[in-house]
Amino acid sequence: MKTVFFDIDTQIDFMFPAGALYAPGAEKILPTVARLNHQAAKHRIPLISTMDAHSENDPEFVQWPHHCVVETLGQRKPASTLLEKYVVVPNAPCAVPLAEQILLEKQTFSALSNVNFARLLDHFQAERYIVYGVVTEVCVKFAAFGLLETGQRVEIVTDAICALSDENGAQTLADFQAAGGYLTHAGMIYA
């Protein structure tokens, strides 16, 4: 089954206690996220790693604390989650790059907001999407529900996600299943 992995927003500001918008416990999923990313490379599965890329005065900061401002340390991805060959795709029209990891920049919650998103999906023609990262009830949710609209199989990796609030995270997973999505574990994807 043609598969694409989506590693959502696993950036320093979300993943570590000193980060600007830390999801409690997020650092604990980091080894699993890193393993999944490297498994993608090993099995030649396209990996799309989304990244918040905010400006200093981003409209999102009305609702949320400053986070993932371009060129800050907090906006970067931990080294363990980066593959050898990655390429940054800004939110501006550009050619679909051939790289084992695509760092897809975005300014809003949804990965689909990058203007190259539809073209990327067209290019890969996947029948299955594996989604993980942070935070469950915001950007993971937007990506997973957005991908469900393609009509293909979408799976959230429950041991490779982290929520800001456990209750909201659990509600998101319940809603996702009710909408036709599947839950899985990292160990079930590739042994």
Residues that bind Zn ion (CB under 5 A): 52, 60
CB-nearer residue toward Zn ion: 7 or 52:
52
CB-nearer residue toward Zn ion: 70 or 83:
70
Q: How far is the CB of 136 from Zn ion (least distance, A)?
A: 15
Measured in whole angstroms, how far is the alpha carbon of residue 158 from the centre of its chain? 13
User: What totals of helices (H) and strands (E) does the chain contain, helices first?
Assistant: 6, 7
In sequence order, what are the residues at sequence separation of 6 or more whose Cβ sits closer than 8 angstroms to the Cβ of residue 169?
135, 136, 137, 161, 162, 163
Q: How far is the CB of 13 from Zn ion (least distance, A)?
A: 9
Q: Which residue has 């160990």 as its token pair?
A: 187
Q: How far is the CB of 54 from Zn ion (least distance, A)?
A: 6
Q: How far is the CB of 162 from Zn ion (least distance, A)?
A: 15
Residue nearest to Zn ion as judged by C-beta position: 52
CB-nearer residue toward Zn ion: 38 or 54:
54
CB-nearer residue toward Zn ion: 111 or 186:
111
